[in-house]
Amino acid sequence: MRVISKKALQDFIKRHPGCAQCAIDVAVAQACLAYGYNDLKQTFASVDQVPPQYTVFGAGGNRFRIVAAIHYNRLSSFVRHV
Please state the domain extents for the chain. Answer: 2-81
3-class SS of residue 1: coil
What's residue 10's pLDDT? Answer: 78
Report the alpha-carbon distance of residue 1 to residue 61 in Å, rounded: 22
Q: How far, in Å, are 46, 57, 58, 71 from residue 66 at the CA level?
A: 11, 5, 6, 16
What's residue 50's pLDDT? Answer: 92
Selection from 53, 59, 63, 76 nearest residue 5 by Cα: 76
What's residue 24's pLDDT? Answer: 60
pTM for this prediction: 0.79
54 confidence band (pLDDT: 50, 70, 90): very high
Report the alpha-carbon distance of residue 47 to residue 40 in Å, rounded: 8
